[in-house]
């Protein structure tokens, strides 16, 4: 699984990156997590607000920081 955290570096973006990495590690999810801060790359996903989570090329959350339970659900469903 490939997970991308889209965000320019604001506190919410950093928080989402940290939380996602914690969930992946805690539940032993087989995934690669990368942080995308390049605005031109972020625009390609068509989102209007960051932070966002992209799983295997599909935007699953945008414009907010979900709870760790919600992140776990998104990554294990």
CATH number at residue 32: 3.40.30.10
Out of 3, 13, 19, 36, pick the active-site residue.
Answer: 13
Q: What is the pLDDT of residue 77?
A: 82
pLDDT higher than 90, residue 39? yes
C-alpha distance from residue 10 to each of 2, 7, 56 (Å): 22, 7, 23
Annotated active-site residue 13? The verdict is yes
Rounded Cα distance between 43 and 24, Å, is: 25
Alpha helices in 1-77 (DSSP H): 11-26, 39-43, 68-76
Mean pLDDT of the chain: 95
- Give the domain extent around 46: 2-76
Q: What is the pLDDT of residue 25?
A: 97
Residue whose structure tokens are 């935007």:
59
pLDDT (tens digit per residue) in 40-57: 999 999 998 999 999 999
Rounded Cα distance between 65 and 17, Å, is: 9
Q: Give the confidence band of 27 by pLDDT, cuts at 50, 70, 90.
A: very high
pTM higher than the cut 0.85:
yes
Out of 1, 8, 9, 10, pick the active-site residue.
Answer: 10
Dihedral of CA 42/45/47/53: which sign? Answer: negative
Instruction: Look at the chain and report how many structural domains it folds into.
Output: 1
């Amino acid at each position: 699984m490939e997970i991308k955290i889209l965000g320019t570096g604001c506190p919410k973006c950093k928080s989402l990156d940290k939380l996602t990495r914690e969930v992946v590690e805690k539940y032993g999810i087989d995934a690669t997590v990368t942080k995308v801060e390049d605005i031109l790359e972020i625009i390609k996903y068509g989102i209007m607000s960051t932070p966002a989570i992209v799983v295997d090329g599909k935007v699953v959350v945008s414009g907010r920081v979900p709870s760790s339970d919600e992140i776990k659900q998104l990554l294990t469903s």
